[in-house]
Structure 1
Amino acid sequence: MKPVEVICGDVPIVLGLPHTGTHIPPAIFAQLNDIGQEKADTDWHIDRLYDGVLPNATTVRATFHRYVIDANRDPDGISLYPGQNTTQLVPLTDFDGRDIWQVPPSEHDMAQRCVDYHTTYHAALRAELDRVYQLHGMVILFDCHSIRSYIPYLFQGILPDFNIGTNDGTTCHPMMQHMVEQITMASDYTSVSNGRFKGGWTTRHYGQPNKGRHAIQLELAQSTYLTQENPPWTYDPTKADRLRNHLADILTTLTDIAPKLKGAS
């Protein structure tokens, strides 16, 4: 299986999907313990949720699971959230802090996976961002994520439905963040900007608004579109269709304001 799937579009938005993949090569899968083999920390069905929400959008999707290597972590292993519980470039625990390996990966394993998967994903993402930038003179990376709404190891209480991440406003033009906030606040979903999730390495790395490259991460609580947040992680079409209307509003609005962001920082 190819580590990355790319669909090329012609609108100024690129959708990044680094955590929807479920493929784990057999040799790596055999090294996981029973907890790891459940793949509980997947961004379940996010590719289905966003499919067709914005016609002609470019999508870059990792097919490999984040337990192989996390495409949204700094390849140098620097923590996104110093002093807080989080998972590493190659996770050693799940989101509940439980060990996931029978045979933990070696330093050599991690380095090889970085070359085979992490670098490959970001080469594809960078190529599409560059291509779309050439088309429009600017580009918006919209990084698509989801997570269980209740994970005491990672955060207190119940996570809001919409979690907008722009690394405290540094990865996109203020107008862009404001428009997304207006749409989410006008809905009957809960929302927060730059709360527990401020945007991962992808958002922080590619978000350079002074260069016409804007990035925003949206972390969705999985309760907004799954029947329940545990196995078998069933997609709920009724919940999802309601949510997709809001996602379409967000992405269409960003597409509409994109010309105004050209040359702006």
Structure 2
Amino acid sequence: MTETVPGVLSVSGESQQRLPLIFDSPHSGTQYPPEFNHAADPALLRQAEDTHVADLWAGAMAHGAVLLEAHFPRSFVDANRAPDDIDPDAITGSYPAPLNPSVKSRLGIGLCWTRVPPAGGAMYDRPLTAEEVADRVARYHRPYQARLRGLLDDAHARWGAVWHINCHSMKQFASAMSTQDRGTERPDFVLGDRDGTACEAGLTEAVRLFLVARGYTVAVNDPYKGMELIRANGAPAQGRHSMQIEVNRKLYMNEITREPNAGYPTLKACFTALAAHLADHVETRLKRTAAE
């Protein structure tokens, strides 16, 4: 059974959950709200999406995990950003809370994107209003973050620990909107655990070894260490383990048309097998804790 909040999110696998293993895909949304009112070329704007990522991980539910996915696009409001991560110079009016822009906001990819991929042209032909931003946070951003936290809290209460996999995709080459030099080629995968502070080291290593054994190139915390959902939910000393997995889009789709390529079935099968591997890892950890 799938729980759906129209236009906002869906949760799948909760009624069959048998492990404290939660996957979330905050950037795979493709339902563009009518109030977006951007001035961007829709084809270019879609390059911001982690298109198909939730579907690629759908096999995780067969192994007792839960999958949360956003339906709204990250360029409208980014569920993987803090609610204060916006440049005050990018909006008009008085925002109802203090703002704390990060490097992502300065690149135009903070809480509400102000730049269009890949070249970084203007998203709007007008400044965003503080009221618009606050409304997006209230109706989309906050419900997503709260639902994720609720899933994690429920699992932690039931099993005494929880493992969270934050699922993303990345462009094959760094764009003008990246913290890397434009044109830098990315590996097949980047795993992020905020330099080992967001999860037990064994989780990151288990995923890295699994992928390397299948011939993939894997980097850890370079260039992606994990953003807000990892920062807010990863606390390994409390039995809360969060890590981010970025997959190179070249492995599964055409970055321009967004259509799956010939590698899609192979990658989806790999993710289902990785979910099974993670389920084994979680079960092992739970048994070890119970025996101590």
- Do both proteins adopt the same fold according to a TM-score greater than 0.5, normalized to the shorter chain? yes
Q: Distance in 2 between matches of 1:86 and 1:167?
A: 22
2:52 is aligned, of 23, 32, 45, to: 45
**Cα deviation digits, residues 31-51 of structure 1 (max 9, x gap):** 333258742210011122111
Paired AA for residue 250 in structure 1: L
Name the counterpart of 2:76.
Answer: 68
What pairs up with 1:189-200 in 2 under 5 angstroms?
189-200=216-227
Paired AA for residue 75 in structure 2: Y
Higher Rg: 2
Q: Residues 33 and 102 of structure 1 are in contact (CA less than 8 Å); yes or no, is this contact kept in structure 2?
A: no
For the residue of structure 2 that corresponds to 1:39, the secondary structure is: helix
Paired AA for residue 83 in structure 2: P
Distance 1:142 1:205, change over 3 A: same
Name the counterpart of 1:241.
Answer: 265
**In the alignment, does 2:236 pair up with 1:229?**
no
1:93 is aligned, of 101, 115, 118, to: 115
**In the alignment, does 2:2 pair up with 1:4?**
no
Q: Distance in 1 between matches of 2:133 and 2:82?
A: 13
Gaps of 5+ in 1: none
What pairs up with 1:105-116 in 2 under 5 angstroms?
105-116=128-139
Q: Distance in 2 between matches of 1:84 and 1:165?
A: 22
Q: Residues 69 and 113 of structure 1 are in contact (CA less than 8 Å); yes or no, is this contact kept in structure 2?
A: yes
Matched pairs, number: 260
Identify which range, 150-159 or 59-68, moves more after superposition: 150-159
Paired AA for residue 225 in structure 1: Y
Name the counterpart of 1:250.
Answer: 274
Q: Distance in 2 between matches of 1:48 and 1:248?
A: 11
Q: Residues 80 and 201 of structure 1 are in contact (CA less than 8 Å); yes or no, is this contact kept in structure 2?
A: no
What pairs up with 1:13-162 in 2 under 5 angstroms?
13-28=21-36, 30-34=37-41, 38-55=45-62, 56-77=64-85, 78=100, 81=103, 85=107, 87-96=109-118, 97-153=120-176, 154=178, 155-156=180-181, 157-162=184-189
Length-normalised TM-score, structure 1: 0.90
Distance 1:152 1:39, change over 3 A: closer
Name the counterpart of 2:91.
Answer: none
Superposed CA RMSD: 2.3
Q: Residues 58 and 272 of structure 2 are in contact (CA less than 8 Å); yes or no, is this contact kept in structure 1?
A: no
Paired AA for residue 136 in structure 2: R
Name the counterpart of 2:228.
Answer: 201
Distance 1:95 1:170, change over 3 A: farther
Identify which range, 9-18 or 65-74, moves more after superposition: 9-18
Q: Distance in 2 between matches of 1:83 and 1:93?
A: 10
Q: Distance in 2 between matches of 1:143 and 1:198?
A: 11
What pairs up with 1:158-177 in 2 under 5 angstroms?
158-177=185-204
Q: Residues 93 and 99 of structure 1 are in contact (CA less than 8 Å); yes or no, is this contact kept in structure 2?
A: yes
For the residue of structure 1 that corresponds to 2:116, the secondary structure is: coil
Q: Distance in 2 between matches of 1:82 and 1:59?
A: 26
Distance 1:70 1:144, change over 3 A: same
Q: Residues 148 and 221 of structure 1 are in contact (CA less than 8 Å); yes or no, is this contact kept in structure 2?
A: yes
Paired AA for residue 253 in structure 1: H
Q: Distance in 1 between matches of 2:152 and 2:210?
A: 25
Q: Residues 142 and 216 of structure 1 are in contact (CA less than 8 Å); yes or no, is this contact kept in structure 2?
A: yes
